[in-house]
Chains A and B, each alone.
Chain A
Amino acid sequence: MSTRTLPLLFINLGGEMLYILDQRLRAQNIPSDKAKKVFVATVAEWIEEDRKRVMNDIITTMFNKKFLEELFKPQELYSKKALRTVFDRLAHASIMRLNQASMDKLYDLMTMAFKYQVLLCPRPKDILLVTFNHMDAIKDFVRDTPSILSQVDETYRQLLEIYTSLSGGEFQLIRQTLLIFFQDMHIRVSIFLKDKVQNSNGRFVLPTSGPVPYGTQTPGLIRMFSCSGEEIKRVQFRDGGNYTAALREGSFELFGDRVTKLGTNMYSVSRPVETHMSGTSKNSSQHTKVNTLPNPLAKEELNLLAKLMGGLEVQKPSHTDSGFRVNLFATDEEEEEALITRPEELSYEVINIQATKDKQANAELAKIMGEFTEAGDSSPSSSSKGDDLLAMMDGL
């Protein structure tokens, strides 16, 4: 449908991912081997430095110039598989490591959070305000690093250029495209359940009270006019909801009060992230046949993905050890348990990508593969390094 959806999907999901990782990195216990390396700096400083580095690395990768250029071109949305693959890559663009179960959980949280924001947006254009909330937070994460800050600012400018002139109808088309993408996803998120914005069947609650969207009148008035245009009658009806007048409009500029809270960071150390995977109801496990159809666009999409991967600048980890692992669960045991018990229909498939024949892209991919081989782990297909991105994924 809308060919302008992908940048918003990517940036908002990326923003949610950063909120979650930031929270987990703050809450994470010190890995025992790290503790041994501490002899000068205090423990707190070391952890703070690592956390900032992970965030900077991921944000740098997210806003890579070539990648964004491709992203902002008019195109259909990626398939679910392709998008998940991009975020797998993004999550591993630093020294941080995530196990399969943690990556699955991270992705569940990201997608359900953005689905919630899209659904609850008072008017379709507010999706842009949600995007700006994410961008504002990302800017805050990298405020001490001017080089990355300028990349983020550049992205702001592109967003402003492309989206501020779109009509309400075009934004609704973007919103409908996103809702179709998220259709039938009903993973329950602890924070949403606690706040009663999500029901136990995984559906979100639509409030029938509160301020109406900007540009809408509170329901209740019928006005009737004569042929000459004079108002001849007014009738009030009881509107059944409990709506109040609209708030002021959020700012669509580089800086400003966005007014809406959707897209701001809802996690904190005291409100940890969790998902419920067990006992998925019959309804939520109903999944469409759409995903299993061969996708005629898949080949194009995969080539593009390969191009994007080639364009991703990967920070070479200055530590030669294998980085540190982040766990999205409370304990390692829980994480292992989650992997085993994950319902079949909710498993994400990551794409096997054949690298393009383009020599330059191959070189880039080989470079990436080289970067991401675990220390001491030889690449399983060292003879065909440029050919199979699957090997790269497996080597993580």
Chain B
Amino acid sequence: MAKMYHKEKSIQIKSSASALYNNLSVLRIAPRCLTYFTVVHANVVNMVSASWDGLNYSHRQLQSKEGNVATSSSLIMQAAWCVLPSRDLLVLTSQKGIQMYESDGSIMVYWHALDTPETPTAQAVFARGIAAVRDKYICVGVSSGSVLVFDVPSKGSNITLSEVLEEHTEPITDMASECSGSMECIADLVSADDSGTLCVWKSGGDFQLLNKIPGFDTSCSSVKLWKGTVIAGYGTGQIRLYEGVTGILHAEVNAHARWIYSLDIAPFTGLLLSAAEDSLVRVWHLTISPETNNVEVRGQKVWIQWLAKVFIPFELFHILSPYHHKFKCIY
């Protein structure tokens, strides 16, 4: 297989990345030839805006919020852009709640506080797992296992909590919406939790649970949904591919020697990136064979010491290695 990537210029971020799952989010703004990146550092989100010619960078920091307190030390679990047809929003999930900003991070348009108990309980409280679904939903996971569904208007701050999905009983780790762009796929969203349970949903006024794929006592830390296939990365270093609606296991890959921290997929070529605590990033090629409707996986090992972002025309990969505060852009 020909080499699928090449290294480009490094981008420095203001502080190191915290050890959190899926800790890098990327938003490409083609009309302005800009790419935004966010990386979480404790109670702060570092945002970099990079011009495509590699000449201009600007930085911004966003803070976690807490009730009526001006500055908060509550830790942020994840930051991610939600791309909806009418607008892009930047969503931050923390120990205290959920913050939603305009895509450049300039204005906070919505704040949802979590129910935090007076005295701390054995079960930690936080929000984690962010996905934009179809035309107007943003879904966020919670440590109780609930998935909050927010209804987002095409502009303005009149965002409302429209539904709470209660299927998981363990903390949500990650969520993903169908990214192939195909309108034929039935499943819109997959949610994963600490027990490895995967729930596959269809969006709508009332979200419908299409399938619940049981875990095997291993946390699923990162998940993607592509052409109806659930791609899940686990704490054991395994990647599994399931058909979302039926729950059929297509493939199982002993991919990494340590906990998987992030997955990303390039929807048009089926290139999958996995990053784990073993310090390796691996590139995989997934193909769906129409006759059998089976998914095939081929692997190619790659050694990348720093975080790497791989760009194939029209497509993007992103991964982040914890604690490093510099990353290389690969175009």
Identify the A interface with B (CB < 8 A).
1-4, 73-76, 122-124, 167-170, 172-173, 175-176, 179-180, 183-184, 203, 206, 208, 212-213, 215-227, 229, 232-233, 235, 237-241, 243, 283, 286, 288-290, 293-297
Residues of A within 8 A of B235 (CB): 123-124, 168-169, 172
Chain A residue nearest in CB terms to B300 = A237
Contact between B249 and A229, CB atoms less than 8 A apart = yes
Chain B residue nearest in CB terms to A176 = B19
Identify the B interface with A (CB < 8 A).
15-16, 18-20, 41-44, 66, 69, 71-73, 75, 77, 95, 119-124, 126, 170-171, 173, 193-195, 217-219, 221, 235-238, 248-259, 277-280, 292-303, 322-323, 325
Q: Using A203-B323, A229-B249 as known contacts, list a sample of 12 further A-B pairs with CB atoms less than 8 Å apart, ordered by residue number in A.
A: A74-B122, A76-B120, A173-B171, A180-B42, A183-B19, A215-B218, A219-B237, A224-B297, A225-B252, A237-B298, A237-B301, A288-B16
Distance in angstroms from A300 CB to nearest chain B CB is: 10
> Does more than half of chain B's interface fall in helix, strand or loop, or is it mixed?
loop
Contact between A217 and B124, CB atoms less than 8 A apart = no
Contact between B15 and A224, CB atoms less than 8 A apart = no
Identify which of B95, B124, B248, B255 contacts A219 (C-beta below 8 A). B255
Identify which of B16, B95, B221, B251 contacts A223 (C-beta below 8 A). B251
Residues of A within 8 A of B280 (CB): 208, 240-241
Residues of B within 8 A of A293 (CB): 43, 71, 73
Contact between B248 and A229, CB atoms less than 8 A apart = yes
Top 6 closest pairs, chain A to chain B, by CB: A169-B194, A169-B219, A240-B301, A237-B299, A179-B19, A217-B254
Known: A74-B121, A215-B236. A1 touches B18 (CB 8 A): no
How far does the alpha carbon of A212 sit from the alpha carbon of B257 in the complex, in Å?
6
Identify which of A175, A217, A225 contacts B249 (C-beta below 8 A). A225
Residues of B within 8 A of A217 (CB): 236-238, 254
Contact between B121 and A224, CB atoms less than 8 A apart = no
Contact between B252 and A223, CB atoms less than 8 A apart = yes
Contact between B43 and A290, CB atoms less than 8 A apart = yes
Identify which of B258, B279, B325 contacts A213 (C-beta below 8 A). B258
Known: A212-B237, A240-B303, A288-B44. A220 touches B254 (CB 8 A): yes
Q: List 23 A-B contacts (CB under 8 A).
A: A3-B122, A167-B195, A168-B235, A175-B19, A176-B18, A180-B18, A180-B75, A183-B323, A208-B278, A213-B257, A217-B254, A218-B254, A219-B254, A219-B255, A219-B256, A223-B253, A224-B251, A225-B252, A235-B299, A243-B257, A289-B44, A293-B43, A296-B73
Residues of B within 8 A of A297 (CB): 73
Distance in angstroms from B122 CB to nearest chain A CB is: 5
How far does the alpha carbon of A283 sit from the alpha carbon of B126 in the complex, in Å?
31
Residues of B within 8 A of A122 (CB): 258
Distance in angstroms from A363 CB to nearest chain B CB is: 26
How far does the alpha carbon of A176 sit from the alpha carbon of B323 in the complex, in Å?
11
How far does the alpha carbon of A184 sit from the alpha carbon of B95 in the complex, in Å?
21
How far does the alpha carbon of A369 sit from the alpha carbon of B302 in the complex, in Å?
60
Residues of A within 8 A of B221 (CB): 172
Distance in angstroms from B266 CB to nearest chain A CB is: 19
Distance in angstroms from A289 CB to nearest chain B CB is: 7
Contact between A206 and B237, CB atoms less than 8 A apart = no
How far does the alpha carbon of A224 sit from the alpha carbon of B251 in the complex, in Å?
4
Distance in angstroms from B67 CB to nearest chain A CB is: 9
Residues of A within 8 A of B73 (CB): 290, 293, 295-297
Residues of A within 8 A of B121 (CB): 3, 74
Residues of B within 8 A of A239 (CB): 257, 301
Residues of A within 8 A of B193 (CB): 169
Contact between A168 and B218, CB atoms less than 8 A apart = yes
Residues of A within 8 A of B325 (CB): 283, 286
Contact between A1 and B126, CB atoms less than 8 A apart = yes
Residues of A within 8 A of B302 (CB): 240
Contact between A235 and B249, CB atoms less than 8 A apart = no
Contact between B236 and A167, CB atoms less than 8 A apart = no
Q: Which interface residue of B16, B277, B292, B294 has the most chain A CB atoms within 10 A?
A: B277
Contact between B254 and A180, CB atoms less than 8 A apart = no
Contact between B296 and A241, CB atoms less than 8 A apart = no
Contact between A176 and B20, CB atoms less than 8 A apart = yes
How far does the alpha carbon of A64 sit from the alpha carbon of B170 in the complex, in Å?
34
